[in-house]
Amino acid sequence: MTPATAAGASAGPAAPRRRKSVTGTRRTVAALFLLPALVLLGALVVYPIGYSVVRSFYNASGDGFAGFDNYKALFTDDGIRTALKNNIIWVVFAPTVATALGLVFAVLTERVRWGTAFKLVVFMPMAISMLAAGIIFRLVYDQDPDRGVANAVWVGVHDTFAQSSAFPKAHPGRDSPLKPDQGGFITSATVRTGESVALPLVGVAPDQMPKSAKQAVRAEPQPGRITGTAWQDFTRGKGVGKLGAVDPSEFGYAGMRIEAVKDGKVVASAKAADDGTFTLPAQADGARLRLPASNFKAPYNGVDWLGPSLVTPAIIGAYVWMWAGFAMVLIAAGLAGVPRELLEAARVDGANEWQVFRRVTVPLLAPVLAVVAVTLMINVLKIFDLVFIIAPGSSQDDANVLALELYRKGFSEGQPGIASAIAVFLLLLVIPVMLFNMRRLRREVRR
Q: Is the pLDDT of residue 60 over 80?
A: no
Q: Do 402 and 426 contact (CB within 8 A), yes or no? A: yes
CA distance 70 to 419: 9
Alpha helix ranges (H) inside 226-310:
none
Condensed to tens digits (0 to 9), the pLDDT of residues 293-326 reads 888 887 778 889 999 999 999 999 999 999 999 9
CA separation for the pair 294, 300 (Å, rounded): 12
Q: Are 328 and 229 in contact (CB under 8 A)?
A: no
Contact 77, 85 (CB under 8 A): no
Please tell me the predicted confidence (pLDDT) of residue 325: 93
Average pLDDT over residues 167-180: 86
State CA 24 to chain mean position distance. Answer: 55
Instruction: Report whether 144 contacts 174 (CB < 8 A).
Output: no
0.85 exceeded by the pTM? Answer: no
* Alpha-carbon span 66 to 60, nearest angstrom: 9
Predicted confidence (pLDDT) at residue 171 exceeds the cutoff of 90: no
DSSP for residue 58? B
CA gap 231, 251 in Å, rounded: 6
For residue 157, the tally of other CB atoms under 10 A from its CB is 10
414: Cβ contacts below 8 Å, ≥ 6 apart: 60
Strands (E) in 304-382, as ranges, are: none
Query: What is the per-residue pLDDT across 216-238, written as a single tens digit (0 to 9) for each?
Result: 999 999 999 999 999 988 765 55
| Cα-Cα-Cα-Cα dihedral sign, residues 306, 103, 429, 423 | negative
pLDDT of 2 over the 60 cut: no
pLDDT category at 7 given cuts 50, 70, 90 is very low
Q: What angle do CA 373, 375, 379 make, to 5 degrees?
A: 110
DSSP character for 209? S
Helix (H) or strand (E) holding 199: strand 196-201
pLDDT digits (tens, 9 = 90+) for 381-421: 889 999 999 999 889 999 999 999 999 988 888 888 898 99
Q: Please, is 89 exposed, middle or buried when counting C-beta atoms within 10 Å of its C-beta (0-12, 13-18, 19+)? A: middle
pLDDT tens readout for residues 243-295: 778 887 888 999 899 999 998 899 999 999 999 999 999 999 999 999 998 88
Angle between helices 78-109 and 115-123 (to 10 degrees): 160
Q: Give kind and range of the element (H or E) at residue 88.
A: helix 78-109
